[in-house]
Structure 1
Amino acid sequence: MTTTTDAVRTTPLHKGAILTIVLVSYFMILLDNSVIFTALPSLQADLTLSSTELAWVQDAYTLVFGGLLLLGARAGDLLGRKSVFIFGLIVFAIASLLIALSPAGWWLITARAVQGIGAAVIAPSALSLITVSFQGEERARAVAWYSATAGIGASLGLVVGGAAASWITWRAGFFINVPIGIAMLLLAPRFLPRAAKLPGRFDILGAVTSTVGVGSLVFAILHAAESGWTAAPTLAGFAAAAVVLALFVLAEARAAQPIMPLRLFASRIRTGAYLARLMYMGAMIGFFFFTSQFLQEALEFTPLQAGFAFLPMTLVNFAVAMFIPRLTAWFGNTATLLIGVAFTLAGMVWLSRITTDSDYLLAVALPMLLIGIGQGFAFAPLTNFGITGATASDAGAASGVVNTFHQVGSSLGLGILVAVGTAAEAGVTGTAAAVTAEASAALTVGSIFLTLSLLAAAVLIAPATRAASRAGRDPLGANTGPSRGRSLITVAKRVFAEKENHA
């Protein structure tokens, strides 16, 4: 008799369709996470929102998204990744429609929170579907596309948001997800693999403490950016986060079927990837947030012009990301990651030198190209290292941790950088001068975040991959250490030989 599991294993996978569905769905999340930046002024004027309400338009989404990620990942393991993924698509598409139809601020903020629920389900399910559907070099290529989508979605969202606000209405940036979501809902039931549900039950205590703990941390960070680090709600949020997250760790250590297996952190490679991603995303969210404001308020770009100002970086990012599978096969994921973070750091340091008299081409566009190259190099290895060694049963949990550190890093980074920028602009007269001082200070601290990301990769990931190489193990199925490394001369010889073979 053929069991459910056997049926799953013997059914041919339409891998191109699977990857398309996963990437387009993930792109929707990234699009809505950045489309808001260039649309904020128009949105505020349309719905007559206060500054606090405007901040919560983004904060409500971030708070729910970050707080529910681990629960969303575990739901995929126990209820079936396909079913949970489809549920997330339904929630996200409906929430996007509600946002586009918002008649008032409270409606918009509530719909953004609902959208965060859908995102918290889709994001870990998308990465775990890649993990279980692809192996070896195919997985490396799929992760490269996944990582390229991350960079493109963030940048293209700024263009879409600016174009919608300038040409039509800010609402159009959210309407676009409705037909995309419907199309994915028609394709997903047919092509996504129906993996067998894993036996077990929900870790209720872990789910509650992780959600409340991460949610409290994100709330405290976001509130600090608005009201200060010493405000009572901020301190209460941090205190609650510390206590509840400590309870979460204790619960996971004792749980028979934990929502976040602590064994995931037994690997120095995965732990290094999580920490490097945390710091990297803290810098990148600040880059998009402050550079967009600098372009519009200091250089007097329109929302559309500001969006298109990021396009060269997006194109470079995509071009580099497409070569990542070959580059990692030649040089290894570790070297590729270190090069990527270093390029990003160089671009961020350069960009942080902006002044009110800065020229877009020299002071903004060229540093952006370095950042785009760095993103193209860094995201795929960061994602690969975050899920390396994870078994099929841990795929959802590992994906959830990757996305949790991604989201918490964005929230933590933005909170700190907004606080730094606010302090830097104090006493500065003139809008352009104040915005420039704010952006310069924030990007300088963002450079420190990237330095810490580089250190995490160099201290935790690099030694572990070298040790694996010396022991004859290759955690990613690609060159990860010096014993399998190739010099530039060797690479050149290989390319020449390939050309001769084709000729």
Structure 2
Amino acid sequence: MKPTYSKVDGDVNKMHVLAIVLASYFVILLDTSIVITGLPEIRLAFGLTTTELSWVQNAYTLSFGGFMMLGARAGDLVGRKRMFMIGLTLFTLTSLVIGLAPNATTMFIARAVQGMGAAILAPSTLALLSIYFSEGEERTKALSYYAPTAGVGASLGLVAGGVFAGWLTWRVGFLVNVPVGVVLMFAGQKVLKESDTHTGSFDLIGALTSTVGMTLLVFGIVESASLGWGNVITQASLLIAVILLTVFFVHEAKAEQPILPLRLFKSRERVGAYLARMLFLGSMVSFFFFSTQFMQGVLGFTPVEAGLGFLPFTIPTFFASRMVPRFTKRIGNQGVMYIAFVFLLVGLIGLSMVTAQSSYLYGLAIPMLIIGFGNGAALGPLTIAGVAGVGKEDTGAASGLVNVAHQLGGSLGLSILVVVFASASTPNLDGELLLAHQISAAYHGSVWMIVGAIAIMLLLNFIPSLLVKYGLLMKSVQQP
């Protein structure tokens, strides 16, 4: 039986809903990056090797990406407010455990569970926006606040992480989530209204194959950077991931109530948005990671200085995101996306030219400024395109797919560029000269990711639109 969904009660203050959603999503993205500038202190605190240290981030990333679709569809099945509250509670409690962790094992386990909480919470936030804000100008305006939260949250996480690690302790970065989480839980319980629940069966096979498959895919790519592509663990992980994900898609095509309705892929606009988002995030996460290394390893910045060094990126990200609704009215959603990606491309090309002799101002700050404008302008249109034309019964799945593209794109992209970084090693260079050379190579990889994203958008959106306009392609073949 096809599920039905009731309309949101009219007495709900939408600005309160927006504030809760933005604050929740901000905390998730802040926590993803706040740990980066604090990693050296964490290594000293627990006596970790470089490989062990990587699991501080990998445990969170693997869990976040692997459980995303399960968390998204669960909102459709049992209610989005309920899943929002469960995810927020789990995220808050594990933040407390991480902040007080007496050893590395406790921290790794808590980070993995925290990733599960984020996987439940992230798609719930976007689904709530889709419910409370009507498609069109109202939703576009709401998403213009939501989308840049990712970029600003990630960037401010680097700043805050540097400040905490340099002046206080890395633990503060996690403990600060506790009072914020408690306030959001109270506000969410008071303000949000529960959506109608799905009365059908739960797609257990789809949930298990997608979760385990995506987890192994991320694991295999991440581990290839340290173990190598020829390692049996890497190969086995990737092989099993491909098998499980193949089973997942075959099953979803036949399932009566799938965890991921394949009809979401019938729109070229949405497919292009998902793929472009993955490449975009792979490039941007790598930008954060390698820029931190350049500032601290080549320019000799302290963690605090490195964190503040991202401000030329953060400020234009905010201002560009605020201009998105105005420009969308004038040139359309796709037009804004293309302009944004041109800014990203130009800025990353500038970064790829860094050397050991580059100054912060000309080598990093000016390219960051350009990238910031592109980042702020890109996220909103990509998010809008990713949920465009989706029915209410699929809002949770569509929201989850947007976040899967976001999380897995960042994880896979960084893993690939870490391999590029390692392969750029040369016996002719050492010390700061070698580090700068390897980082430049990684930046070149980021440039090609953005080129790939632009190519995908042209092939799936712009060119078909032109063909339809001039009668060379039937309109029914274009995205619905």
Which TM bucket (shorter chain)? over 0.9
**Equivalent in the alignment of 2:255:** 255
SS at match of 1:425: coil
What RMSD over aligned residues (CA atoms) do the two structures have, in Å? 1.7
| Alignment partners' CA distance in 2, 1:372 and 1:293 | 19
SS at match of 2:169: coil
Say whether 1:330 aligns with 2:330: yes
For residues 197-245 of structure 1, give each alpha carbon's deviation from its aligned partner in whole angstroms, at most 9, with x where no partner exists. Answer: 1231210110010001101100101111121111111100110111111
**Equivalent in the alignment of 1:277:** 277
Answer whether contact 1:340 1:374 (CA < 8 A) is retained: yes
SS at match of 2:35: helix
**Equivalent in the alignment of 1:22:** 21
TM-score of the pair, normalised by structure 2: 0.95
**Equivalent in the alignment of 2:127:** 128
| Alignment partners' CA distance in 1, 2:468 and 2:22 | 31
Displacement of 1:103: 1.1
Answer whether contact 1:210 1:248 (CA < 8 A) is retained: yes
Answer whether contact 1:269 1:464 (CA < 8 A) is retained: no
Q: Which residue type is aligned with residue 64 of structure 1?
A: S
Say whether 1:220 aligns with 2:220: yes
**Equivalent in the alignment of 1:190:** 190
| Alignment partners' CA distance in 2, 1:431 and 1:448 | 27
Shift in alpha-carbon separation, 1:233–1:49, aligned structure 2, 3 A:
same
Displacement of 1:458: 1.4
**Equivalent in the alignment of 1:39:** 38
| Alignment partners' CA distance in 2, 1:332 and 1:384 | 11
Q: Which residue type is aligned with residue 62 of structure 1?
A: T
Shift in alpha-carbon separation, 1:175–1:115, aligned structure 2, 3 A:
same
| Alignment partners' CA distance in 2, 1:26 and 1:466 | 37
| Alignment partners' CA distance in 1, 2:456 and 2:409 | 14
Shift in alpha-carbon separation, 1:323–1:233, aligned structure 2, 3 A:
same
Answer whether contact 1:282 1:446 (CA < 8 A) is retained: yes
Shift in alpha-carbon separation, 1:244–1:330, aligned structure 2, 3 A:
same
**Equivalent in the alignment of 1:497:** none
**Equivalent in the alignment of 1:415:** 415
Shift in alpha-carbon separation, 1:231–1:54, aligned structure 2, 3 A:
same
- Superposed, 1:287-302 pairs within 5 Å as 287-302=287-302
SS at match of 1:299: coil
Displacement of 1:40: 0.6
**Equivalent in the alignment of 2:79:** 80
Q: Which residue type is aligned with residue 392 of structure 2?
A: A
Shift in alpha-carbon separation, 1:334–1:394, aligned structure 2, 3 A:
same
For residues 444-502 of structure 1, give each alpha carbon's deviation from its aligned partner in whole angstroms, at most 9, with x where no partner exists. Answer: 0110001000111111122455678899xx9xxxxx9xxxxxxxxxxxxxxxxxxxxxx
SS at match of 1:70: helix
Shift in alpha-carbon separation, 1:54–1:11, aligned structure 2, 3 A:
same
- Superposed, 1:167-246 pairs within 5 Å as 167-246=167-246
Q: Which residue type is aligned with residue 101 of structure 2?
A: S
Shift in alpha-carbon separation, 1:9–1:66, aligned structure 2, 3 A:
closer
List alignment gaps of at least 5 residues for structure 2.
none
Answer whether contact 1:35 1:161 (CA < 8 A) is retained: yes
Shift in alpha-carbon separation, 1:47–1:295, aligned structure 2, 3 A:
same
Answer whether contact 2:68 2:119 (CA < 8 A) is retained: yes
**Equivalent in the alignment of 2:382:** 382
Answer whether contact 1:47 1:105 (CA < 8 A) is retained: yes
Q: Which residue type is aligned with residue 454 of structure 1?
A: I
Answer whether contact 2:162 2:303 (CA < 8 A) is retained: yes
For residues 318-377 of structure 1, give each alpha carbon's deviation from its aligned partner in whole angstroms, at most 9, with x where no partner exists. Answer: 001011111101110111001101110110111011111101001100000110000111
| Alignment partners' CA distance in 2, 1:470 and 1:103 | 66
| Alignment partners' CA distance in 1, 2:192 and 2:434 | 50
Answer whether contact 1:273 1:461 (CA < 8 A) is retained: no
Q: Which residue type is aligned with residue 197 of structure 2?
A: K
Q: Which residue type is aligned with residue 184 of structure 2?
A: M
Q: Which residue type is aligned with residue 84 of structure 1?
A: M
SS at match of 1:113: helix
List alignment gaps of at least 5 residues for structure 1.
475-479, 481-503
| Alignment partners' CA distance in 2, 1:428 and 1:104 | 40
Among the aligned pairs, what percent are the same residue?
45
**Equivalent in the alignment of 2:98:** 99
Displacement of 1:405: 1.2
Answer whether contact 1:268 1:464 (CA < 8 A) is retained: no
Shift in alpha-carbon separation, 1:466–1:128, aligned structure 2, 3 A:
farther
Say whether 1:350 aligns with 2:362: no
Answer whether contact 2:312 2:366 (CA < 8 A) is retained: no
Q: Which stretch of the first structure deviates more once superposed, 197-206 or 337-346?
A: 197-206
| Alignment partners' CA distance in 2, 1:162 and 1:220 | 30
Q: Which stretch of the first structure deviates more once superposed, 401-410 or 454-463?
A: 454-463
| Alignment partners' CA distance in 1, 2:274 and 2:163 | 35
**Equivalent in the alignment of 1:498:** none
For residues 409-456 of structure 1, give each alpha carbon's deviation from its aligned partner in whole angstroms, at most 9, with x where no partner exists. Answer: 111111110011011124354331222122111110110001000111
Displacement of 1:53: 1.2
| Alignment partners' CA distance in 2, 1:12 and 1:461 | 39
Displacement of 1:5: 6.0
| Alignment partners' CA distance in 2, 1:469 and 1:337 | 20
| Alignment partners' CA distance in 2, 1:360 and 1:392 | 48
Shift in alpha-carbon separation, 1:467–1:95, aligned structure 2, 3 A:
farther
Answer whether contact 2:84 2:121 (CA < 8 A) is retained: yes
**Equivalent in the alignment of 1:315:** 315
Q: Which residue type is aligned with residue 217 of structure 1?
A: L
Displacement of 1:13: 2.0
| Alignment partners' CA distance in 1, 2:246 and 2:68 | 18
